Chain A
Amino acid sequence: MTSDEIRTAAVDVLGRIAPEIAARPLDAHADLRDELDLDSMDFLRFVLALHERFGIEVPESDYPQLATLDRVVAYLAARCRPEPSSTH
Chain B
Amino acid sequence: MRQEQFERAHETAWQALERLLAVRRGEAVTDDTDPHRLPELYRGLCNDYALALSRGYSPLLVERLHGLALRAHQVLYRRDGAWLWRSLQFVAAVFPRTLRRHARLLWLACALFLLPGVLLGTWCANDPEAIFSVLGDAQVAEIEAMYDPLNRVPGREPERSADSDFAMFGFYIFNNIGIGFRTFAGGILLGIGTVFTLLYNGVVIGGIAGHLTGTGFGETFWPFVSGHGAFELTGIVVCGCAGLLLARAVLAPGRMPRARALREAALEAVKLVSGAALLLVLAAFVEAFWSSSASVSATVKYAVAAAAWLAVLLYLAFAGREHGPR
- A and B co-occur in one complex: no
Please list the residues of chain B having a beta carbon within 8 angstroms of any beta carbon in chain A.
Answer: none
Please list the residues of chain A having a beta carbon within 8 angstroms of any beta carbon in chain B.
Answer: none
